Amino acid sequence: MKPRDRLRIAMQKSGRLTEPALDLLTRCGLTFRQSRDKLFCFGEGEPVDLLLVRDDDIPGLIAQGVCDLGIVGRNVLGEFQLTAGRDGEPLDELRPLGFGRCRLSIAVPQDMAYEAPKDLAGTRIATSYPGLLGEWLRSRGIDAGVVTLAGSVEIAPKLGTADAICDLVQSGGTLVANQLRETDVLLESEAVLAGPLTLPVDERGDMLELLLKRLDGVIQVRE
Q: Which of 83, 123, 148, 174 binds ligand PRT (CB under 6 A)?
A: 174
Residue 63: φ, ψ to 5°: -60, -35
Q: Which of 46, 56, 182, 184 binds Zn ion (CB under 5 A)?
A: 56
Q: Does 119 bind ligand PRT (CB under 6 A)?
A: no
| Rounded distance between C-alpha atoms, residue 216 and residue 28, angstroms | 9
* Only segment of 25-33, 77-85, 112-120, 169-177 that touches ligand PRT (CB under 6 A): 169-177
79 binds ligand PRT (CB under 6 A): no
Query: Among ligand PRT, Zn ion, none, what does residue 81 contact (CB within 5–8 Å per kind)?
Result: none
Looking at 3-11, 43-51, 110-118, 170-178, which segment touches ligand PRT (CB under 6 A)?
Answer: 170-178
CA angle 22, 85, 117 (to 5 degrees): 95
Smallest gap from residue 92 Cβ to Zn ion (A): 21
Contact region for ligand PRT (CB under 6 A) — 36-44, 48-56, 139-147, 202-210? 48-56
Amino acid, res. 78: G
Q: Give the strand pairing for 191-196 and 145-148.
A: unpaired
183 binds ligand PRT (CB under 6 A): no
Report the alpha-carbon distance of residue 56 to residue 76 in Å, rounded.
Answer: 6
* Binding piece for Zn ion, criterion CB under 5 A, among 3-11, 55-63, 158-166, 200-208: 55-63
CB of 179 to ligand PRT, least distance (A): 13
- The residue sitting closest to ligand PRT, measured at its beta carbon, is 73
Among 85, 100, 130, 134, binds ligand PRT (CB under 6 A): 100
73 binds ligand PRT (CB under 6 A): yes
CA distance 11 to 160: 36
55 touching Zn ion, by CB under 5 A: yes
Binding site for Zn ion (CB under 5 A): 55-56
Q: Which residues bind ligand PRT (CB under 6 A)?
A: 12, 15-17, 54-56, 73, 75-76, 100, 102, 167-174, 189
